[in-house]
Structure 1
Amino acid sequence: MNCAQPRHLCPLWLLLAALLLAGCSTNVTVNGNYPSALTRKQPLRVGLVLDSNFSGYQFESQEDKRQPVIMALGASQVKLFNRVFSDMFQTSTTYSSIPSGNGQLDLIVVPQVEEVQLATPLETKLNVYEVWLKYNFKVYDNTGEPIADWLMSAYGKTQTRLLTSDADALNQATVTALRDAGARLILGFERVPEIRQWLAKHQGGVPPGQAEGS
């Protein structure tokens, strides 16, 4: 519209435009690469249960009304967990629900997204995004008996300030957090006390990480 006709409408249009810009959301479908980990495979047959809530997980943040964030995380975390579990164990089979008749498995692992936290540049006054992920892992034996239930947190932030968009920056921060989650899972799995005890009982010998005679 030409502000010369009629002039009294110009402030209204400008206000509406400003409100529309302020209400723009950042929409991200997280997409990253997760290379194989150099780790010793446990001689275990593991069922990894990634249900629809996990595979379709979407985070929505409305804390900052000026820049709401919608982040589709499910597909990328499925990609990560499939990669990590195939690196960690002799065999890893993915299921959408806890399988019945588990004689072909040693362990069943069910991860769930417990919490996602996000810090935006508008909040921190820094030109980076920060992402915190918290997962809850439930581990069962092949009879369905619970073995362990533990929480694991991961963190990532934008590594460069020279990105082309908020979506690129948020994607980079989230992929970094997912890679951190993968590393923490590999390093921490055998350190969970209940899992250490189960491994010692069912594989014989000394619990992982414990020296003979100690």
Structure 2
Amino acid sequence: MAGCGANVTLDPVTIPTPLIDPMPMSVAVRIPAEFEDYVHEDEVLGREKWRIDLGRSNAALFSQLFNFMFDEVTILGPDDDASTLAIDALIEPSIDAFEFSVPSQSRTESYAVWIRYRLKVYDSAGDMYANWPLSAYGKSEKFGLTGDEPLKRAAILAMRDAAALMIMNLDKSTAISALKDRPAIAVASAQPAADEPAPREKRSQLPKRREVALPPPGPAAGPAVLSMDPDSDATRERVPEGSSND
């Protein structure tokens, strides 16, 4: 007998205004089509079919986030050419993996979502400067929520967790601020193996301005940012063996 499952479409996700000073840089943010249109489909235990649409919500969140983090931000589509723009850096987000867990798998009353994002940073010449993977987690209890609301809430918390990570660690992990007003020396912050050179990837077309309507491991610590998790759930968990895989 088939289970229920659900079609989950996230509404635009917003974050509180972080208590940070924007970096004095001009950046372009390219939103790839596969990022803006990201949909995850999975069948849990061969019975429950789930379809989770994250795309437009992701695009809106990242657009809002980077406008908080930098003085000047230009949002670009997948085919937009930024080679004539006077920018210090180009950022291109993507999703490496999406996983989730529902009560029928975990035998708990919890829904959980893991998202592994990747941020590629290019210098003003179009050479790859940094390649940063980051993992985010969100968890929601079933109590008090109905239908697809618990899973939707867990996904929103994971996206906010990613936003908090980027606010706190983007410059530490990519050294993007060093690109201000000067050509970049290619640096790979993804930490490749010692005998493996950092990848150099050229963007022949650096990502016409396209505006995106503004509308998540744990809540932000210290004074850098407001709490991203309204439930104050700072728990980080390993991906359970029974969780779904992209």
TM bin, normalised by shorter chain, reads: 0.7 to 0.9
Q: Could you tell me which residue of structure 2 aligns to residue 130 of structure 1? A: 112
Structure 1 unmatched runs, 5+: 1-18, 203-214
Q: For 2:178 and 2:32, how far apart are their aligned partners in 1?
A: 27
Superposition deviation, residue 96 in structure 1: 0.9
Among 164, 188, 191, the alignment partner of 2:169 is 188
Q: TM-score w.r.t. structure 1 length?
A: 0.78
Among 50, 68, 88, the alignment partner of 2:49 is 68
Structure 2 unmatched runs, 5+: 184-246
- Higher Rg: 1
Q: For 2:176 and 2:25, how far apart are their aligned partners in 1?
A: 12
Q: CA, structure 1 residues 177+58, in 2 after alignment: closer, same or farther (shift >3 Å)?
A: same
Q: For 2:117 and 2:25, how far apart are their aligned partners in 1?
A: 22
Superposition deviation, residue 63 in structure 1: 4.0
* Greater share of residues in helix: 1
Q: Which moved more, 1:107-116 or 1:94-103?
A: 94-103
The within-5 A match list for 1:194-205 is: 194-195=175-176, 198=179
Q: Which amino acid aligns with 2:163?
A: G
Among 118, 125, 129, the alignment partner of 2:100 is 118
Higher relative contact order (CA 8 A, sep 6+): 2
Superposition deviation, residue 74 in structure 1: 0.4
Among 24, 27, 39, the alignment partner of 2:7 is 27
Q: Which amino acid aligns with 1:27?
A: N
Whether 2:13 is the aligned partner of 1:44: answer no
Q: CA, structure 1 residues 146+40, in 2 after alignment: closer, same or farther (shift >3 Å)?
A: same
Q: CA, structure 1 residues 182+93, in 2 after alignment: closer, same or farther (shift >3 Å)?
A: same
Q: CA, structure 1 residues 102+184, in 2 after alignment: closer, same or farther (shift >3 Å)?
A: farther
What is the percentage of aligned positions where both structures have the same residue?
A: 29
Q: Could you tell me which residue of structure 2 aligns to residue 143 of structure 1? A: 125
Q: CA, structure 1 residues 61+152, in 2 after alignment: closer, same or farther (shift >3 Å)?
A: same
Superposition deviation, residue 26 in structure 1: 1.1
Q: Which amino acid aligns with 1:117?
A: E
SS in 2 for 1:184: helix
The within-5 A match list for 1:172-187 is: 172-187=153-168
Q: For 1:201 and 1:110, how far apart are their aligned partners in 2?
A: 20
Q: For 1:86 and 1:64, how far apart are their aligned partners in 2?
A: 41
Q: How many residues in Structure 1 have an aligned counterpart in Structure 2?
A: 182
Q: TM-score w.r.t. structure 2 length?
A: 0.68
Q: Which moved more, 1:109-118 or 1:55-64?
A: 55-64
Runs of 4+ in 1 over 6 A off after TM superposition: none
